[in-house]
Chains A and B, each alone.
Chain A
Amino acid sequence: MTVTKKTQSENLIPFPESHERNPGIPLELEKIHAIRINRSAVERRAGTLGTRRTVKKQWQAAWLLKAVSCIDLTTLAGDDTPGNVIRLCAKGKRPVRKDLLENLGLAELDLKVGAICVYHNLVETAVSHLKGSSIPVAAVSTGFPAGQISFQQKLKEIEASVMAGASEIDIVISRNLVLTGKWNQLYEEVAAFRKACGHAHMKTILATGELATLTNVARASQVCMMAGADFIKTSTGKESVNATLPVSLVMVRAIRQYYEKTGYRVGFKPAGGIRKAKQSLEWLFLIKEELGEAWLDPSLFRFGASGLLGDIERQLEHFLTGRYSASYRHPMG
């Protein structure tokens, strides 16, 4: 543990602060145990979100641009090299073709993605290629994706990434603690991660596809927020089931409850499986309906996605030209 605060803050890109950071609160076990989620009812609500709400024409274009601003543009592959990460950074800075933005009347918008999300080894590359853009670099951490390494290694990994310049750390929780109901231990673990993150913002990945029940998802969400999570995030993208609307509904309701109780706004990041523009709108509806407009901002909402941006670009071009677009007409990330 040799990292000094000075080193950290030198490397840090300021995180957009539109709200006070969640410092966490003492664990309230009784509250955790009392949580009950009715899956069928949740699915019913989630199933009608996209049928009760829709946006068309310029509303759709504006909403899709908001989605772009909330994307954590991600590459998390074994074959990542500086080459493709640098390309991703460039795409993050100019996610939508300049002529399209101009035609949308948004030349001045300075549209960029929410963050670039990479493995630790590529943090430095990303940081150096995003210099001046104010786009944060997010590093997945703590033995991502399975989290099956020692607690000490996890802390070291966080510290290393923060030192390398990551201003957001996407940690994974130990799923076994949820499955065996060890809420105290989970709380302690996440609180320790938060401490290790220091000024870097912490997204806690619940890996909901491995938590078995929605009640577990809701309980784990609350514990992580109580332990000081800045964001709660659905998935690593590596589980067999990743971000779904029902799971997201449960998590955003947990965020709302935490906010109503403490006054702290915790962010939400669905990740994995969101590839289509239309899907991204459903998540924005979910956020607006369940949490309100304050959360429709990259400081409180992110998509963990790699393919989504491409589909949104094509939809935006279609909005402008009335012609269905092809992906090769847009610069790849």
Chain B
Amino acid sequence: MNIQNIYESMEYGPALESREEADQWLSSKKRKLSLYIGGKWQSSKSGRYFDSTNPANKEFLAKISEADQKDVDKAVSAARKAFPSWLKLGPHGRARYLYAIARQIQKHARLLAVLETLDNGKPIRESRDIDIPLAARHFYHHAGWAQVMESEMKDYQAIGVMGQIIPWNFPLLMLAWKIAPALAMGNTVVLKPAEFTSLTALAFAEICDNIGLPPGVVNIVTGAGKTGEMIVNHPEIDKIAFTGSTEVGRILRKATAGSGKKLSLELGGKSPVVVFEDADLDSVVEGIVDAIWFNQGQVCCAGSRLLIQENISELLHTKLRARMEKLRMGNPLDKCIDMGAIVAPVQLKTIRQLVKQGKEEGGVLWQPSWACPKDGYFYPPTLISNVSTSSSIAQVEIFGPVLVSMTFRTPAEAVSLANNTRYGLAASLWTENINLALDIAPKIKAGTIWINCSNVFDAASGFGGYRESGFGREGGKEGLYEYVKPHWESEYKDTPQVFKKADSRKLKSPSVSLPAIDRTAKLYIGGKQARPDGGYSHPLYTPQGQLIGEVGAGNRKDIRNAVEAAHGAASWSKATAHNRAQVLYYVAENLAARGEEFTRRIAQMTGRTRSSSEQEVELSISRIYTYAALADKYDGRVHHTPLRNVTLAMPEPLGVMGIVCPDEFPLLGFLSTVIPAISMGNCVIAVPSETFPLAATDFYQILDTSDVPGGVVNIVTGDRDSLAEVLAKHDDVDGIWYFGSSSGSQKIEYASAENMKRTWVNYGKHPDWSNPKHGEGEDYLRHATQIKNIWVPYGE
């Protein structure tokens, strides 16, 4: 084209980023890349390789080693071997290495960006301006956390060897999200990049090598799902961190259930973009571009559901279509395009199939008039309007550049639609009314809420899901807890404290002249005593064999009723923290008033001495005080993200929690687990000690007289482990704590995979509940809450 023509047409021309250095880098490896294990480059034992290709033109980029079991074993033992000396190196030493990594990423930023774009198909603008700078920032930020770990995380220590599996949509960035916090907290790592995109992980390994990171601290094993499985099932790995689909996340939850491996999952999403009538609509349009056409929509938190206030729907659709027409798609290395290629044919096929289904289900499809490039895997930006909630494309994660839209009438309806999903990763809200924005943000069940922006990320802010979008956070202080364990956990015992039990041969009735008034402990559901649905009760005896009373045998229907009741009490979470604290103090006050009665009850059930029982009551009162005190002090944070905004990290209650209480302390065990949960605003279904349930059932009189709203605490007695399993399998229960056996822990984690409820189990290890270090503190509150990050940009 000559200059005169361009002068007249004012068209854009090609503007390709050079790939010369990236090609040189690949050639220097003879386009055949090895595994990085124990500080050495080595090809896989099997000698098998698979191809990495450029999705924009299908060209072969390099052969990638496929790690098999022996390679994974080797990597894990290298990481294991490196762990003690990496720990010994101390915070400052680790900080220096992390800092060096950050510097190296910056120094080689363009090479990494071009490799990423070649391998993944994302526009060079994104890899250059977003992925790589964010990755470097992640290491800088965590170099800081490494340095100050001893003061900032003083109750916590490294876990050991981390197995990390990352996706193909942000290869280097996801690597950074995984490796930076792991190393900062003193762990060593075996990481597997996605099979489609291994290049930058191997370039990263080279960086580790160049800065002299001690061998074995970071190991990179490449391969497909099978290699991933080997990591997940490896007995020598202490924690699995995974980012990917909910489907695979569920498999990992089941596979690691009961193993004691810590697990964090960052999974799929169907995030809403909620647009209110007073929003700056031109800015909304750009926000939508960032939400769904960033990285071709292959973003777990992509804003893929557009919810528009009905009266502006037509106007916004018109603006949106005009904007879509202007998007430029092409060679990802072109600096003048907005959208690149879809990562692989399998992904393209899924997108096509889902869009087809959406059309068949009545959605109105709109795509720009321009044609996609033909030489690679491309899919145009797509808007499907008139979508109903029942349509599959409104529910299923498409993981492509496809936006579905629907309308709402009121803020309340917007919230209902936004939350009408199994996922809960992110949401963006658009309004110029701060009252409305800050009203809606807490109501949406998602880990990240962006107000008047979308898809902004930073190392200082935790990212992660609610519901089936997974659990755990990456980034910020909240993300560090995924890579540490409390110091005191090592003090837990393999067996619970043993108390004398009744000798069944000596069973007898109480010997009194007048028959005692029959007193049966019922279940406590929705603030009322309820007879067990099954109509059975079981007798309870003192260790001496005296009949104490009978306790209701709760069954699955009682659990169902209790869960309903707990949901009915949801306004508890909206009560002010001060108000919750006051209620808890009142509970403590009433317990103190009836201390003598509980002392006798504990002594009677357990056969323990009076002073030991008295001590349990005293500790219980103190424990309630602790959480009454913390209720309005367990604050969130305001993160220093490098934008003009406040990022509010707010702990929110999980919602409805099942709590399976420890067996050994009838009252203290019940209160140590139930009170922290309700202090944060959760509503609870408690399954008390099976052996000594009566302290808990006596307690409902205290709940009744202490202004605890009905349904906040529900008590179902009976066969503990079977009730626990019903709770774990209940999809309307958001979290479950279990303090029991090792096999019970396994069952809870396994059954929880279905709705990805948050679990906290003891794997058969028993804390000493009478020891405040074990039995109370912020660790309990952390498990009773999840962090929501709300980004609030400001400036008029």
Chain A residues within CB distance 8 Å of chain B: 36-45, 48, 51-59, 61-63, 65-66, 104-106, 109, 213-215, 253, 284, 288-289, 293, 296
**CB–CB A289/B3 < 8 A:** no
**CB–CB A66/B286 < 8 A:** no
**CB–CB B3/A40 < 8 A:** no
**CB–CB A52/B10 < 8 A:** no
Q: How far is the CA of A184 from the CA of B644 in the complex (A)?
A: 35
**CB–CB A105/B3 < 8 A:** yes
* Secondary structure of the B contact surface, majority rule: loop
A39-B796, A65-B7 known; A57-B13 Cβ under 8 A: yes
Chain B residues within CB distance 8 Å of chain A: 1-7, 9-15, 125, 129, 278-280, 282-284, 286-287, 290, 326, 335-336, 338, 432, 452-453, 643-645, 793-796
- Which residue, of B5, B13, B338, has the highest number of chain A Cβ atoms within 10 A? B13
A45-B286, A56-B13 known; A51-B3 Cβ under 8 A: no
In the complex, given contacts A45-B286, A52-B338, A106-B4, what are 18 additional A-B residue pairs having Cβ atoms less than 8 angstroms apart?
A: A36-B279, A38-B280, A40-B644, A40-B793, A41-B283, A44-B290, A48-B125, A48-B129, A51-B125, A55-B336, A56-B14, A58-B13, A62-B5, A62-B10, A63-B10, A105-B4, A214-B796, A296-B10
A54-B336, A58-B13 known; A66-B7 Cβ under 8 A: yes
| Closest A residue, CB atoms, query B432 | A36
Q: Please give, as numbers and ranges, the residues of chain A lying within 8 Å of B452 by CB-CB distance.
A: 38, 40-41
**CB–CB B125/A41 < 8 A:** no
Q: How far is the CA of A54 from the CA of B338 in the complex (A)?
A: 12
Q: How far is the CA of A104 from the CA of B5 in the complex (A)?
A: 12
**CB–CB B15/A56 < 8 A:** yes
| Closest B residue, CB atoms, query A250 | B282
Partner among B1, B10, B645, B793 whose Cβ is within 8 Å of the Cβ of A58: B1
**CB–CB B279/A62 < 8 A:** no
**CB–CB A62/B793 < 8 A:** no
Give, as a whole number of angstroms, the nearest-CB distance from B4 to chain A: 6
Q: How far is the CA of A41 from the CA of B453 in the complex (A)?
A: 6
Q: Please give, as numbers and ranges, the residues of chain A lying within 8 Å of B2 by CB-CB distance.
A: 58, 105
| Closest B residue, CB atoms, query A260 | B318
Give, as a whole number of angstroms, the nearest-CB distance from B451 to chain A: 9
**CB–CB A52/B336 < 8 A:** yes
Q: How far is the CA of A236 from the CA of B532 in the complex (A)?
A: 81
| Closest B residue, CB atoms, query A293 | B10
Give, as a whole number of angstroms, the nearest-CB distance from A322 to chain B: 16
**CB–CB B280/A106 < 8 A:** no
A-B contact pairs, 19 of them (CB 8 A): A38-B280, A38-B452, A39-B795, A40-B793, A41-B284, A41-B452, A41-B793, A43-B795, A51-B125, A54-B336, A55-B12, A55-B15, A56-B14, A58-B1, A61-B3, A62-B6, A66-B10, A105-B4, A214-B796
- Which residue, of A37, A41, A45, has the highest number of chain B Cβ atoms within 10 A? A41
A59-B12, A289-B326 known; A106-B282 Cβ under 8 A: no
Partner among A38, A42, A45, A59 whose Cβ is within 8 Å of the Cβ of B6: A59
Give, as a whole number of angstroms, the nearest-CB distance from A114 to chain B: 15
Q: Please give, as numbers and ranges, the residues of chain B lying within 8 Å of A214 by CB-CB distance.
A: 796
Q: Please give, as numbers and ranges, the residues of chain A lying within 8 Å of B12 by CB-CB distance.
A: 53, 55, 59
Partner among A48, A54, A253, A288 whose Cβ is within 8 Å of the Cβ of B15: A54
Q: Please give, as numbers and ranges, the residues of chain B lying within 8 Å of A54 by CB-CB distance.
A: 15, 335-336
Give, as a whole number of angstroms, the nearest-CB distance from B649 to chain A: 19
Q: How far is the CA of A106 from the CA of B795 in the complex (A)?
A: 47
Give, as a whole number of angstroms, the nearest-CB distance from B461 to chain A: 16
Q: Please give, as numbers and ranges, the residues of chain B lying within 8 Å of A288 by CB-CB distance.
A: 10
- Which residue, of A56, A214, A288, has the highest number of chain B Cβ atoms within 10 A? A56
Q: How far is the CA of A287 from the CA of B257 in the complex (A)?
A: 57
| Closest B residue, CB atoms, query A214 | B796
**CB–CB A104/B3 < 8 A:** yes
**CB–CB A215/B796 < 8 A:** yes
Q: How far is the CA of A149 from the CA of B716 in the complex (A)?
A: 83
Give, as a whole number of angstroms, the nearest-CB distance from B150 to chain A: 37
Give, as a whole number of angstroms, the nearest-CB distance from B129 to chain A: 6
**CB–CB A63/B6 < 8 A:** yes
- Which residue, of A43, A58, A214, A288, has the highest number of chain B Cβ atoms within 10 A? A58
Q: How far is the CA of A36 from the CA of B436 in the complex (A)?
A: 15
**CB–CB B9/A293 < 8 A:** yes
Q: Please give, as numbers and ranges, the residues of chain B lying within 8 Å of A253 by CB-CB distance.
A: 282
Q: How far is the CA of A192 from the CA of B794 in the complex (A)?
A: 38
Partner among A38, A48, A52, A59 whose Cβ is within 8 Å of the Cβ of B11: A59
Q: Please give, as numbers and ranges, the residues of chain A lying within 8 Å of B453 by CB-CB distance.
A: 40-41, 44
Give, as a whole number of angstroms, the nearest-CB distance from A209 to chain B: 15
Partner among B7, B14, B326 whose Cβ is within 8 Å of the Cβ of A62: B7
Closest 8 CB pairs of A and B: A59-B13, A41-B283, A40-B793, A62-B6, A38-B280, A36-B432, A62-B7, A45-B286
Q: How far is the CA of A53 from the CA of B335 in the complex (A)?
A: 7
Q: How far is the CA of A314 from the CA of B137 in the complex (A)?
A: 37
Q: How far is the CA of A213 from the CA of B290 in the complex (A)?
A: 24
Q: Please give, as numbers and ranges, the residues of chain B lying within 8 Å of A293 by CB-CB distance.
A: 9-10
**CB–CB B7/A41 < 8 A:** no
Give, as a whole number of angstroms, the nearest-CB distance from B329 to chain A: 12
| Closest A residue, CB atoms, query B5 | A62
Give, as a whole number of angstroms, the nearest-CB distance from B645 to chain A: 7
Q: Please give, as numbers and ranges, the residues of chain A lying within 8 Å of B125 by CB-CB distance.
A: 48, 51-52
Give, as a whole number of angstroms, the nearest-CB distance from B670 to chain A: 49
Q: How far is the CA of A36 from the CA of B796 in the complex (A)?
A: 10
**CB–CB A40/B4 < 8 A:** no
Give, as a whole number of angstroms, the nearest-CB distance from A61 to chain B: 5
Q: How far is the CA of A96 from the CA of B793 in the complex (A)?
A: 45
A45-B286, A56-B15, A106-B4 known; A36-B9 Cβ under 8 A: no
Give, as a whole number of angstroms, the nearest-CB distance from B543 to chain A: 67
Q: How far is the CA of A316 from the CA of B700 in the complex (A)?
A: 85
**CB–CB B432/A38 < 8 A:** yes
Q: Please give, as numbers and ranges, the residues of chain A lying within 8 Å of B13 by CB-CB distance.
A: 55-59
Q: How far is the CA of A329 from the CA of B522 in the complex (A)?
A: 98
| Closest B residue, CB atoms, query A287 | B10
Q: How far is the CA of A293 from the CA of B10 in the complex (A)?
A: 7
